[in-house]
Amino acid sequence: MLNLERLRTLDALARHGSVSGAAEALHVTTSAVSQQMAKLEREAGQQLLARNGRGVRLTDAGRLLADHAARILSQVELAQADLEAQRGQVAGELRLSAFPTAARGLFPRALAALRSGHPALRLRSCELEPEAGVAKVVRGDLDLAVVLDWYNKPMPLPDGLVKAAILDDPADVAVPEGHRLADRPEADLGEFADDEWITWGEGEFCHEWLIFTLRSKGIEPRIGHRAAETHTQLGLVAAGLGVCIAPLLGRDPMPAGVVTVPLRQRVRRHVYVVWRADADRRPSIRAAVEALRAAGQAVSAG
């Protein structure tokens, strides 16, 4: 009889590609992973791992069993979700992530409401960029991830995920107080063609969106500074070092010396939450989605 926890270890090793990656995902030591795999090999009666340089790789038998393990674990999760749904209880552990401005703008209200309304629910949250959050939900390391895409650049989602809208987040351009457009009721994005931009890190989804959007308007952006956090970007704007995109979510309080100029194109981010389809019936998932939507409505209402 194959042991479920050992199948879970094999699944983590297949998904993460290394013993250390599996150990980190499972919150165990690398020694524990190796021991579980050795026991699973004895149960299966076949070699599942082979040496690959300093690491390991799955053998043909290992890959075959890992494929079965992924399906078995998905069915187990579906069974657990059905049992939770039948009991109707919001309990157990729920692991969530959000990109930084959503973690600041949504999580305090949403997670406090969940803790107050469902004291048997244990919450674990972290900040992650959208792509990383989605990847961890797919792998089963997270239950939910709050992610985003832009009005003109959707983010592709893998199969097997469900999503729910949280809010549409309007974005302005933040400029220094003495900027030539600071007093304008609205401006066209093309009017910032000569400005130096403060943007996100290279390769991040929001940075790629900004480059894509500016170039689609015939503007080759001048990137002066990069910062992951909105408030760091706004601090650089306050110092007169450039302009940045400033979505409504998570930007308050605005630093002194910064003015936001609405864009004529009505630039918006679509903020939503994703989870695995096989966990769709879990009451804790439903409760979290409702709490996040309520937090989003509060942000939209100002």
pLDDT digits (tens, 9 = 90+) for 25-58: 777 889 988 999 999 999 999 899 888 877 888 9
The tokens 């931009």 sit on which residue?
A: 197
- Token representation of residue 297: 């409505």
On whether the CB atoms of residues 56 and 14 are closer than 8 A, the answer is no
Please report the pLDDT score of residue 250 as a whole number.
82
The tokens 């097997």 sit on which residue?
A: 160
What CA–CA distance (Å, rounded) separates 296 from 105? 8
> How do strand 161-176 and strand 258-261 relate by DSSP bridges?
antiparallel
What CA–CA distance (Å, rounded) separates 178 from 161? 46
Number of alpha carbons in the 13 Å side-chain half-sphere of residue 60: 0
The percent of residues above 90 in pLDDT, for the chain, comes to 55
What's the length of the chain?
A: 302
What CA–CA distance (Å, rounded) separates 178 from 167? 32
Name the region of 258 (left: φ>0; alpha: ψ -120 to 50; beta: rest).
beta
Q: What's the first-to-final CA gap in the chain, in angstroms?
A: 57
Band (pLDDT 50/70/90 cuts) for residue 85 is low
pLDDT at 125 over 90: yes
What CA–CA distance (Å, rounded) separates 254 from 248? 10
Query: What would the pLDDT profile of 198-232 be if each residue is shown by its tens digit?
Result: 999 888 889 999 999 999 988 999 999 999 889 99
Q: What is the mean pLDDT of the chain?
A: 90
